[in-house]
Amino acid sequence: MATRTAARRGKANGAGPEPTPAERLLAALGPTGDRYFEDANLGDFGLPARVDTETFLEPHAKAGPASRLGPLEKVHAFWFAGMSCDGCSVAVTGAQAPSLEDLLLGAHPGLPRVVLHHPVINLESGPHYLRPHELALKGELDAPYVIILEGSNTDETHPIETGGYWAGVGEEPWGPDGQMRTVTTDEWIARLAPGAAASLAIGTCATWGGIPSAAGNPTGAMSLMDFLGKDYRSALGVPVVNVPGCPPIGDNFNETVAAILYFLQGFGPLPEFDDLGRPAWLFGETVHRHCVRGAYYEEGNYAEEFGDPECLVEIGCWGPVVNCNITSRGAINYHGGCMNSGGACIGCTMPGFPDKFTPFHKRPPGSAVSTAASRVLGSLITPLRRYSNEHLDREVRWDLHGEVPSGWASEKTEPGFIRGYGHKFYDRLRRSGDGGKSNAETWGKQTEWTQERDPARELELPGGPESTTTGTTGPRET
Going from the C-alpha of 285 to that of each of 258, 274, 290, 468, the distances in angstroms are 21, 12, 8, 56
Measured from each CB, the residue nearest to ligand SF4 is 319
Identity of the residue, 330 or 462, whose beta carbon is nearer to ligand SF4 in the bound complex: 330
Query: How far is residue 135's CA from residue 466's CA, in Å, rounded to a whole number?
Result: 91
Report in angstroms how near the CB of residue 333 gets to ligand SF4 at its nearest: 15
Query: How far is residue 403's CA from residue 295's CA, in Å, rounded to a whole number?
Result: 31
Report in angstroms how near the CB of residue 337 gets to ligand SF4 at its nearest: 7
Q: Which DSSP string do the residues of 250-268 spell out, in sequence order?
A: HHHHHHHHHHHHHHHHTSS
Identity of the residue, 181 or 293, whose beta carbon is nearer to ligand SF4 in the bound complex: 293
Alpha helices in 164-249 (DSSP H): 185-192, 204-207, 224-228
**278 interacts with ligand SF4 by CB under 6 A:** no
Query: How far is residue 342's CA from residue 230's CA, in Å, rounded to a whole number?
Result: 39
**Options 95, 200, 206, 348; binder of ligand SF4; rule CB under 6 A:** 348
**319 interacts with ligand SF4 by CB under 6 A:** yes
Query: Residues binding ligand SF4: what is the number (CB under 6 A)?
Result: 23
Query: How far is residue 166's CA from residue 160's CA, in Å, rounded to a whole number?
Result: 9
**Options 57, 346, 400, 404; binder of ligand SF4; rule CB under 6 A:** 346
Q: Which residues pair with 286 in a beta bridge?
A: 323
**Options 192, 198, 222, 326; binder of ligand SF4; rule CB under 6 A:** 326
Piece in contact with ligand SF4 (CB under 6 A), picked from 149-157, 159-167, 319-327, 445-453: 319-327
Report in angstroms how near the CB of residue 275 gets to ligand SF4 at its nearest: 19
Q: Which DSSP string do the residues of 77-126 spell out, in sequence order?
A: EEEEESB--SHHHHHHHT--TT-HHHHHHT-STTPPEEEEE-TTT-S--H
**313 interacts with ligand SF4 by CB under 6 A:** yes
Which of 218-228 are b and which e, b meaning 16 or more Cβ less than 10 Å from the residue's Cβ? ebbbbbbbbbb
Q: Which of residues 282-311 bind ligand SF4 (CB under 6 A)?
A: 287-288, 291, 293-294, 297, 311
Q: Which of residues 215-274 bind ligand SF4 (CB under 6 A)?
A: 245
Piece in contact with ligand SF4 (CB under 6 A), picked from 57-65, 103-111, 313-321, 372-380: 313-321
Identity of the residue, 77 or 287, whose beta carbon is nearer to ligand SF4 in the bound complex: 287
Query: How far is residue 357's CA from residue 110's CA, in Å, rounded to a whole number?
Result: 42
Cβ-in-10-Å burial (0-12, 13-18, 19+) of 343 comes to middle
- Smallest CA-to-CA distance from 207 within 252, 152, 166 is with 152
**Options 190, 312, 400, 461; binder of ligand SF4; rule CB under 6 A:** 312
Cβ-in-10-Å burial (0-12, 13-18, 19+) of 246 comes to buried
Q: CA geometry: angle at 175 spanning 28 and 226, to 5°? A: 35
Identity of the residue, 349 or 473, whose beta carbon is nearer to ligand SF4 in the bound complex: 349
**Options 317, 400, 404, 461; binder of ligand SF4; rule CB under 6 A:** 317
Site string for ligand SF4, 423-452 (x = CB under 6 A): ------------------------------
Identity of the residue, 110 or 347, whose beta carbon is nearer to ligand SF4 in the bound complex: 347
Q: Which of residues 30-89 bind ligand SF4 (CB under 6 A)?
A: none
Residue 396 phi, psi (nearest 5): -55, -45
Binding positions for ligand SF4, rule: CB under 6 A: 245, 287-288, 291, 293-294, 297, 311-313, 317, 319-320, 322, 324, 326, 338-339, 345-349
